[in-house]
Homo-oligomer: A and B are copies of this chain.
Amino acid sequence: MSLLVVGSIALDDVTTPYGSVKEVLGGSAVYFSLSASFFTGVNLVGVVGNDFPKRHNKLLEKKGIDLQGLERKDGKTFRWSGNYVGDMNIAHTNWVKLNVFERFTPSIPKAHKNSDYLFLANIDPDIQMDLLRQARGARFLACDSMNHWIDSKKKSLIKLISKVDLFFANEKEAQSLTGETNLKKAARAITSFGPRMVVIKKGEHGAFLFVDNKIFASPAYLLDIVIDPTGAGDSFAGGFMGYMATPGRRKTLKELRKAVAYGTIMASFCVEGFSVAGFTRLNKRAIAKRFRDFSRMTHF
């Protein structure tokens, strides 16, 4: 099945207790599509500036990611500078330069309008709504957002959520969107907006899926070292959606649980290196091995 992602492509400066990197490949659409590329073909829609290194295009294409929808514009690529101190669960933003992403009006190429699975990474909810209209052929719609839009465009965001099958949120987003501190209640409140499914991501504390009033709860995959948490949430979504887009998957609780498990382990690979290093050296065998490990770690 074809999977389409629309989101940011960035050059990041990141500092963690394990070091600093500058101008490295990042952005929600990049993490998502690299993670999903181990499961299915991915079509990427995004924008970069004319300073975007060609070697990044090559890396993405090498992983089978279709870049027909990648616009290259005059100007600079979106840049984010952040750091993690103490609690690796919390990213502190030093600065953001939206650059070409600021006036980005994403357009889905004709060839991708019928992608079966659609993931709308965090972006203005009005733009996400327009993308839903463009991707009329999609049979499974999922989106992510962030606190900025919950604060500034809550009505648009709730309208968007009502149209999708699955909403991905982190703990704080779920709480501020619904006013519920209890996550089970928050998840139930989100499904009352319309979507059948909600995934609440808790970083190093795992994630849970709420579907048809049933819950699947998962711890994170415990690692010895977390080098850089950037992109973990989008990599989770990429593993989840990538698995669901493989042939023969049905949207049953049984399959959706496995999707959470794959999301969890893809996030664990992501955080083992700076930028996308955790994915460049990865193969399907290592994913299958970690999936078995994770199953042994969590079943009783």
Residue in A202, A257, A300 with the greatest tally of chain B CB atoms within 10 Å: A300
Stretch at the interface among A23-31, A215-223, A280-288: A215-223
Give the CA-CA distance A224 to B298 in the complex, in Å: 23
Copies in the complex: 2
B217–A222 CB distance below 8 A = yes
A206 within 8 A of B: yes
Which of B185, B218, B296 contacts A219, CB < 8 Å?
B218
Residue in A220, A295, A297 with the greatest tally of chain B CB atoms within 10 Å: A297
Closest 10 CB pairs of A and B: A257-B300, A217-B219, A205-B205, A184-B222, A261-B300, A258-B300, A217-B297, A219-B219, A215-B297, A299-B299
A260's closest neighbor in chain B, by CB? B300
A98 within 8 A of B: no
B226–A182 CB distance below 8 A = yes
- The residues of A with any CB-CB pair to B shorter than 8 Å are 182-185, 202, 205-206, 208, 214-220, 222-226, 254, 257-258, 260-261, 295-300
Q: Interface residues of A: mostly helix, strand, loop or mixed?
A: mixed
A224–B299 CB distance below 8 A = no
A216-B297, A300-B257 known; A222 vs B208 contact (CB < 8 Å): yes
A222–B299 CB distance below 8 A = no
Give the CA-CA distance A258 to B299 in the complex, in Å: 9
Q: Besides the contacts A214-B296, A215-B297, A218-B298, what 9 more A-B pairs have beta carbons closer than 8 Å?
A: A182-B224, A184-B222, A184-B224, A202-B205, A206-B206, A216-B298, A217-B222, A258-B300, A299-B299
